[in-house]
Amino acid sequence: MSSQSAAKLRSRYVEQVASELEENRRRQEELAKKIELLKQEEALLSDILNLAERYEGFADASRLPEQAQDEPAVAKAKRRSAAGATTQRSTPSSTAPAGTRTKSGAERKSPRPLLGDLLMELLAGHAEPRSAKELRDELLEKDPSRSPTPQVVRNTLESLVAKGRVQRHKQQRSVMYTLVESADAG
């Protein structure tokens, strides 16, 4: 083999390896983005499951959002997440008031407030409509230990809109939210 053909061969190998390395890095970036999206989806699904568990005890199904009225779907979601939920969530469901006793008779600690409750609290402090970004920023200031993604905040607000607890306003290209005044509050 001549030195010229060896140089061509080496050049081809270098080009091929460089190309494969570039493709590998591109795929790594792609997968990192997918992982981030999956983490956001996991947070959202966890919030939805918490809401489903919270409203499970209501006898009046008309007060529930349409999706949660389907009892078998809630039961399926619980069964699917039962294995993961026992290791991931150590806080009890917030269906019972803080300080109540569990079935085993043990005293319950105060559960972490739900994101929807925190957002409603923030909305109650403002007379004017607020954007999801403003509410998220205010939440991060108030409780730095909670850091929901902007998408989780928007989805939670839309869930509250569906339940009739929050009202959505469109102002030009922005979506703003206000607390719905209850009839017995006036």
Tens of pLDDT along the chain (186 residues) come to 788 889 999 999 999 999 999 999 999 999 999 999 999 999 999 888 888 888 766 555 555 455 444 445 545 555 554 545 444 444 444 444 445 455 555 555 667 889 999 999 999 999 899 999 999 999 999 888 888 999 999 999 999 999 999 999 998 888 999 998 875 544
- Using CA atoms, how far apart are residues 106 and 128, in angstroms rounded to an integer? 44
Confirm whether 26 is domain-assigned. Answer: no
Give the CATH number, domain containing residue 134. Answer: 1.10.10.10
Q: What is the DSSP letter of 24?
A: H
Q: Which domain holds residue 151?
A: 113-186
**pTM tops 0.85, yes or no:** no
Nearest to 123 by CA among 47, 179, 181, 42: 179
Confirm whether 123 is domain-assigned. Answer: yes
Place of tokens 């009046």: 60
Place of tokens 């999801």: 132
Tokens representing 45? Answer: 């699904």
Confirm whether 164 is domain-assigned. Answer: yes
Number of domains making up the chain: 1
